[in-house]
Each structure stands twice: as structure tokens, then as C-alpha cells.
Homo-oligomer: A and B are copies of this chain.
Amino acid sequence: MVNLSPTFSPLYQQIKRLMIQALESGEWRPGQAIPSEQELAVRFQVSQGTVRKAIDELAADNLLIRRQGKGTFVASHADPRALFRFLRLTPLSGEIVPLKSEPLDCWRAKAGQEASRNLGIELSAPIIIIRRVLKHESKPIVVDEIYLPGEIFSGLNIEMLRDWQGSIYGLFESRFGVRMLHAREKIRAVAADRNVAETLGVPEASPLLSVERVAYTYGDKPVEWRRGLYSTAEHYYLNELS
């Protein structure tokens, strides 16, 4: 097929876009298998190789997971392997154990300047704020404030957070249909104020990691803004540069 280039987009990219639509619309749900490559080739009227290339990219983006002999599955935050992708905190010594989340508070508010900018919503639009602590063997390691667009997460309350076993992104995925796909973190070192020091059980003015995150769903739409303060006395933030 000829293309006359300024708007050239390879077939497999177009297929990829169609598949993202199927994911976003909920036609294919987290944890479930999508149709086989053969079926998709028929559905989209292209060869299997072209479908494969589209799936390859979606798998590289962590939207899909391939399992030889079994099928291709929609990635899910319910999968424990997804956990470490978004919280790379590791004990200085000892095993990597998932931290236990304890919600402290959850309330409604109106978006200020910062929340509005980071979440891409109107000033004074409704937002939900969560405060929580993450503990390692009952020792507080992280204190978090999470800002969510009220429109998308309406109905969220502290009881839901308390009852939920598993990662908070798992909750967002299964209760609100919001899938966090990637995030950008800005990391700095700050001094603990009195309040935080008390919550984390460290001396006032102790150095803490400040981790500010914006997380995005389909179409690079920001849907979460959070700021965490990490006590790194007995943990470190692990990052792979590759």
C-alpha cells in the first residue's frame, strides 16, 4: 500500500491503537486473556506477524503479558509482580516484603493550584485526599498524601481503603476501573517536620526522601498525584539505570 508520507503510520501502530481502545473500553479486562493472535489477525484483517508486532509493543509497555502456550493476558495490579514496579523500597538487610498500608484519613477538598496543575483539572474541582502510612513489620516507613480527581474516584472512602487487601492501585483498578500505566517521580531529600517525625517515629529534622509522583492512565492522562516521605534509615529506594 502506498502512503505519501506526511501522515505515515505503520499498520501495526494502528492495530496497537485499536487494541488500546479495546483495553480502555473494558472489552478486555485485567487478568483475562485477550483473543489469540490468529483471531486478532482475522478481526483486524492483517497477518499474524503484524498483530504480533503490535502485541510486542503493548507487552513492552506492560499493558499485556505474554505466556507461551497459554495466551496473552491483560496486565493487572492484582498480580503481585506488578507491586515492585511502583514501590521500589528495599530493606537494607533482609527480604523484600510488601509494606502494609494503614489509611489515616480520607477527605474531600477542592483542587488548589498545585493539584490542579498536576492532575490536569480545573482549579477548585473536587478532589479526594488520602493520608496513610506504610509499615514494615509494624514499623512506619512511609507517610503518604494522595490526591485524586473526585470525579473519577467518587465513592472512595476510608472504609474501602481499610478493607482492601493488596496494593492501592489494585483497588483503583478493580473498584474504579482506573489503571495506572506509568508514573514520573521527582525525588529530593528533606528534613522531617515535627508532625511527620512523630508519625514515622524519627527525630525531628531527620533527613527523609521526598518522593513526588504523578501517575498516568491511558492517553497519558494524569489521575493521581502523591507525595511520600520515606524513612531511609533501614530501607533504600532501588533504581535500575538501563
A: residues with CB less than 8 A from B are 60-62, 85-86, 90, 181-191, 205-209, 212-213, 230, 232, 235-242
Contacts and interface: CB of A to CB of B under 8 A. Distances in A.
A239 B187 contact: yes
B242 A185 contact: no
A211 B232 CA distance: 12
B185 A207 contact: no
A207 B205 CA distance: 9
Most buried by B among A187, A235, A242: A187
Contacts of A183: 240-242
A153 to B, nearest CB: 20
Task: Quickly give the copy total for this chain.
Answer: 2
A192 to B, nearest CB: 9
B189 A232 contact: yes
A181 B241 CA distance: 9
A184 B239 CA distance: 6
Given A205-B205, A208-B189, A184 B237 contact: no
A209 B189 CA distance: 5
